Structure 1
C-alpha cells in the first residue's frame, strides 16, 4: 500500500512576476528576484530559464530556450542557479541582461526565469510508500523592449462569447497581439439599445499583459445588462492609449 502525504510549498516571490526593461543594443541591465521561505523547514530552490507563450484558450507553453525566435534567454545570466533558504529566511538572486550589439529588429524580447522548490522524494520509514510534496513553481517574465519607439502592439479581436460564471453573465473576449511590442491592454464594451440607439452602459475588463504573437481571454462582467439584443462597440486600449475597435451585435439571454 502506498502512503502519500502532501505538504504545502513555502517559497514566495516578493517582487512581482513580470520584470520589464527598456533596453538598447550593447548595454547591460541588472535585476533581482526576491525570495522568502515562509515555512518552518529549510528549502532549496533552483532557478532556470525557459521560453514562454500562451493562447486565449488558457494554454500556456513553457519550452526550452530558443524555441521562441524572440527569446532573450541567452542575454540573461543569474548569479546562482540554486539557493537554500532557512526557515523564515529572505534572499535575493541577482541577474544581468547583456543586450547584444547587433539586434536589428525593434520590439519585445522575452523569456521566463522558473523558480522551483527542490523536493526530495524520500522513502517513508514507518510505512511502505513515499512522501510526495506538491510543488508550486513560479514563472517570472523578463521582458526587454528594444527601440520601443520604433515598435508597436497590433491588437486583434479573435472571438467573443457570453458564458455564465458563478451565476453571472461574463463576456469573454479573445484578443491577440499581432504586433512586435508587449503591452497591457484593457477591453471595454459600449452597449447600445438596438431599437433606439440609447446607450446602456460601459463595461470593462482588468488590464492584462499581452506579449507579441500571443492571445488572452479578457473577461467583462455584463451581468447588469437585461436580456435583449444589442449593438455594441468593443474597444481594446493599451497603456499608451492606442485603441483598437470593433462593432459587434450582442445577444444577452435569460439562461
Structure 2
C-alpha cells in the first residue's frame, strides 16, 4: 500500500514518462506568503545526470487534480486562481553539459491589488528537449519519451482572512496490494492551500472499546481540488465497527465524521 501511495504522490507532482537524465534538485513545491505590490524571487535547480548534453525548456501551465486520479495541466488562465501572469522566468531554454548543474531564476510580481484572499498557483514545467532524428527503418521521425517535472509555485495572499475547508467526499474499505485499506477522498472547498493528514479511530461496535488509531501520509491539497488518502488497517480483524474519520491540517484545524465501518474477509 505504501508503494501505491508514493506512486500517487509522484503522479500528482510530475508527468510519468520513461527517459531519465534531467532531475530537479530543490523540490517540486515552492510556497510563498505574499503581499500586494511586492516582488519575490525563486529558482529551479536542475542537474543533467546523463552522459550527453541535454537541452531543457521551461514554461508555465495551470494545474488541478481530483481524488479519482485525474490530473489536468492546462493553459494559463484556465484556473481562475492562477498566478501564471505574476511569474516571469529569466529563460525558457537551457542546455546542460553531461553531469552539469544549473539554476533558472524566476520573479513573482504581486499586483498592487489582489481582490480575494487565499492561495494562487500554477506550475513550472521542466521538460528535456530531445533532438529529432530521422529513422532508417521508415519515413518520418522517432519519438523519445522524457520526464517532465511539474513544479508547483503557490502564493498565499492575506492568509489571516483565508482558510481551508475540508470535506469528505467518500470513505471506502478496499483491498490495496492484498491488504485492507481505508480510502478517504477529501476535497478542499476553502480558499487556502493546506497539508492535511487523514486518520481513523476505530471502536468495537458492541462495547465501544477503542481498537486503535491509524493515519495516512500527509499530502498537500490546493483549493478546489481533492485527493484520496490511504490508511492501512490490515491489522484489524474482519467485523463491523464504529469509527471516527478525522482530517487535520498543519495548523491543527480538524474536520471529523462518524461512520460505520465494515472490514471483510476478502
Partner of 1:83: 94
Contact 2:31 2:153 in 1 (8 A): yes
- The question of 1:215 aligning with 2:226 is answered yes
Runs of 4+ in 1 over 2 A off after TM superposition: 6-9, 127-132
* Structure 1 residue 166: Cα displacement: 1.4
Contact 1:233 1:248 in 2 (8 A): yes
Partner of 1:35: 46
Out of 236, 247, 251, the position equivalent to 1:225 is 236
Partner of 1:70: 81
Structure 2 residue runs without a partner (length 5+): 1-16
Contact 2:128 2:148 in 1 (8 A): yes
* Structure 1 residue 9: Cα displacement: 2.5
Out of 241, 249, 252, the position equivalent to 2:260 is 249
Partner of 2:34: 23
Partner of 1:171: 182
Report the structure, 1 or 2, having the larger helix content: 2
Cα distance in 1 between the residues matched to 2:205 and 2:129: 58
Distance change (3 Å), C-alpha of 1:194 and 1:147: same
Matches within 5 A, 1:56-205: 56-125=67-136, 127-128=137-138, 130-205=141-216
Cα distance in 1 between the residues matched to 2:18 and 2:265: 44
The TM-score, its normalising length taken from structure 1, stands at 0.95
The TM-score, its normalising length taken from structure 2, stands at 0.91
Cα distance in 2 between the residues matched to 1:163 and 1:42: 47
* Structure 1 residue 213: Cα displacement: 0.5
Structure 1 residue runs without a partner (length 5+): 1-5
